[in-house]
Structure 1
Amino acid sequence: MRTVLAGAVSVLLTLALATSGHAGSRSEEILARFENANQWRDHVMVVAHRAGGLQDGKRRFAENSIAALRDAISLGAEMVEIDIRRSADGELIVMHDSWLDRTTDCTGEVVTRAMDELRTCRLVVEGTGTVTAETVPTLREYLSVAKGRILVNLDNKLDTADLIDMVALARAMEMEEQVVVKANLWNAERVAAVKAVMARVGQGFQFMPIMADDAVRDPAFVEASGKAFAANAVEMIAWRGDTETMTVSGGPLFSARVKAAAIRGNWHIWVDTHAIVNKPGGYLAGGRGDELAVAAGFPNEVFGFWAERGATMIQTDEPRAAINWLAANGYRVPYAELEKPVASVAGQAGASQPPTN
């Protein structure tokens, strides 16, 4: 009798974990690696830029679409990065540009449209011009699909103070640990200003500093900033600038001293390999970006290069290519897969994609 009861309890527990956004879910497995960088230096996490909508020459999905999110989940990406704006009536929405023209079949400024108007704007797959059935999503809708399955990085296109409402929404959905917010830091005054806003947000959420090597070159500042926010990751930008050659070292933010600081602080080094519109390839990655990895066919010179310089998180427009190459070359440690990716999740039509940070 005890055996039967134990079996029944086990089945119920398994079902509960598979449907919950909490213990035992895919997101909890990812969080365990995100929050314990030093235990996972042999694993490179993949972040799908704009949810990965810009894959394959911008032909697969609309950028920032829920269809792209579902595909990123099915691929096994650890995180999606999405862009946040507001509608005219204050709704937090997922949209990169301040204008609707590039990514939807509507025109005009986003901020002039109320949510009911945005519901009529359908997302467009940039590379093909295909108009999808998906309309501009709200942040709430996006998070409801991501809950328990994948982490979500919010690229705030509003004021720093708007992070308060974003975290409040995540907290109301019991997702604050799944959502990562961020801000650029470049000096002590900026650190103090951002800390003041974060103090208003409260406790129990993820904050990530962003550093760019045109403004930050001192490892001591990087380390102090990571410590100030108890960060689990620091996003590093290695500007290519006007140089025509690829970086050989990775630049000052990928030095041995910064790597040592990351180990002392137990945080991930994050690199951006995704493209920026109207900028040369690898603009954020010293010339070693997705174009070189995928279009030119040299993934080792991009994904391998950054992994060997300490990066344990790569934000890319090509999550499928990155995951496949990293796994094939020993940079991915399989998950326990307590929650299997939902097969139907990737099969839904819909899409849109563009390119700009």
Structure 2
Amino acid sequence: MRLTAPILAALLSLMPVLPSDASIPKSDHAALIGERLSNANLWRDHVMVVAHRAGWKENGSVVRAENSRAAIDNAAAIGVEMVELDVRRSRDGALVVMHDATLERTTTCRGEVGDLLLEQLMACRLVVEGSRIVTDEAVPTLAEMLAHAKGRVLVNIDNKLEPEDLPEMVEIARRLGNADGILIKTPIWNDERLTRVRAVMQQIGPDIAFMPILADDAVRDAAFVDKVSKAFSPDAAELIHWRRETTEPLTVAGGPLFTPQARAAAVRGNFHMWINTYPITDRPDGMVAGGRGDGLAFAEGKPDDVYGFWVNRGATIIQTDEPKAVIDWLERHGLRRPYGAGS
């Protein structure tokens, strides 16, 4: 039967309208990443890379809006395993993606995130920090960003709220069919906090990837790492090694969370050891990595003293502001395995 123009137009009008942007995954690459996340002991020869704030910098300069769809697109294109997204609430309780409690640095608006309604936040445009280039992206909701990343990269949800807010974030992912595409996390520093977080995780259920954040100002004994591992069977542990002042020497051993005993706990628990090498604004470079951060690696030209140091001490996930450069370094050193058939 030959379709006339009016009939063809009518048929096309009945078809669902699909978005034309990069939010449509070419394949479920994220599922392959998830397999490596959940089986650390099978993939200790492959170091995963996480784009901090979804990947906003290159060569030390801010080149795109942080926590943006454009950042997710770039991260997926260069091959990172995960993007980190920061989550806060609007005045009317909506979960939105924003690092700061205030809007001035990263948007065209001013004031506290929590003082504005979602409708007002969606009128704020994301800007590129420094250049103040205004993008066409509004302050996004968590749901929008999870949908945009779905199938391409995993999302590391950095909860700026309380542990009890995690179930709502998980529910959003479940509604989107992306429960296996997120990694949730929260700090645990003593037995009381462990009990509190365990109650939250029992409410959520065992199907969601979880990561405790352990910092060595409070956790200095590998026995506590073991205790946390047994309580949660985590997929990874984000390990903080503090260097709060530039007068402090660079770490020479990695601190109490990167000892042979801590590494043994990771192997027993089958979880990844995660290090953060990104800088914190107006703080010493590598503040959460014993001074061995992105600045030392690239500004000072010593990547072996950063990424090599942490990989040698068991790190199999690196969160960085320089994901492309870190991937390139890892590949040159045989620390990446390709994804695909037989991988």
2:310 is the counterpart of 1:306: yes
Q: Quickly say closer, same or farther: Cα 1:273–1:143, change in 2 above 3 A.
A: same
Residue 56 of structure 1 and its aligned partner are, at CA, apart by 3.2
Shift of 1:156: 0.7
Report the Cα offset of residue 134 of structure 1.
Answer: 1.1
Aligned to 2:16: none
Identity fraction in percent: 53
The aligned residue for residue 167 of structure 2 is 164
**Distance in 1 separating the partners of 2:59 and 2:282:** 18
* Partner of residue 155, structure 1: 158
What one-letter code is carried by the residue in structure 2 that aligns with 1:286?
G
CA distance in 1, matches of 2:278, 2:151: 26
The answer to whether residue 71 in structure 2 is matched with residue 68 in structure 1 is yes
1:337 to 1:58, Cα distance in 2 relative to 1, 3 A:
farther
| One-letter amino acid of the counterpart of residue 323, structure 2 | P
Q: Which of residues 35, 40, 64 in structure 1 aligns to 2:43?
A: 40
Equivalent of residue 257 in structure 1, options 257, 261, 275: 261
Q: Find 2:238's aligned residue among 235, 239, 246.
A: 235
1: CA distance, partners of 2:146 / 2:266: 29
Structure 1 residues not aligned, in runs of 5+: 1-18, 339-357
Deviations 1:255-297 (A, max 9, x none): 1111111111111000010111110111000010011112221
Q: Matched residue of 1:177: which SS?
A: helix
Instruction: Determine the structure 2 residue equivalent to 1:219.
Output: 222
The alpha carbon displacement at 1:59 in A equals: 2.3
Residue 113 (structure 2) aligns with: 110
RMSD of the alignment, in Å?
1.7
Q: Which residue of 2 aligns with 1:290?
A: 294
- Are 2:94 and 1:78 equivalent residues in the alignment? no
Contact kept? 2:24, 2:148, Cα under 8 Å: no
Q: Do the aligned partners of 1:77 and 1:150 also contact (CA within 8 Å) in 2?
A: yes
Gaps of 5+ in 2: 1-22
Deviation track 1:314-340 (CA, whole Å, cap 9, x = no partner) reads 0001101100111111111111179xx
In structure 2, distance between residues paired with 1:37 and 1:212: 21
Matched, 1:274 2:281: no
Check whether the contact 2:31–2:180 (CA below 8 A) recurs between aligned residues: no
Question: 1 CA distance for matches of 2:277 and 2:259?
Answer: 18
Query: How much does 1:201 deviate?
Result: 1.9
Structure 1 consecutive aligned stretches of length 4 or more whose deviation exceeds 2 Å: 19-22, 54-59, 241-244
- Contact map agreement 1:58 1:126 (CA 8 A) in 2: no
More moved, 194-203 vs 253-262: 194-203
Deviation readout 1:118-158 (Å, 9 max, x if unpaired): 12111111132211111111111101111111110111111
Greater RCO, 1 or 2 (C-alpha within 8 Å, sep 6+): 1
Quote the residue 2:324 is aligned against. 320
Please report the TM-score for the alignment, with normalisation by the length of structure 1.
0.86
Which residue does 2:4 correspond to in 1?
Answer: none
Distance in 1, matches of 2:163 and 2:34, equals 24
1:188 aligns with 2:191: yes
Q: How far is the alpha carbon of 1:21 from its aligned partner? A: 7.1
Other structure's SS at 2:251 match: coil
Q: CA deviation at 1:215?
A: 0.5
Count of aligned pairs: 319
**What SS is found at the alignment partner of 2:136?**
strand
SS in 1 for 2:217: coil
Offset of 1:253 from its aligned partner? 0.5
Q: Which residue of 2 aligns with 1:246?
A: 250
- TM-score w.r.t. the length of structure 2 is 0.90
The 2-side partners of 1:284 and 1:337 are apart by: 37
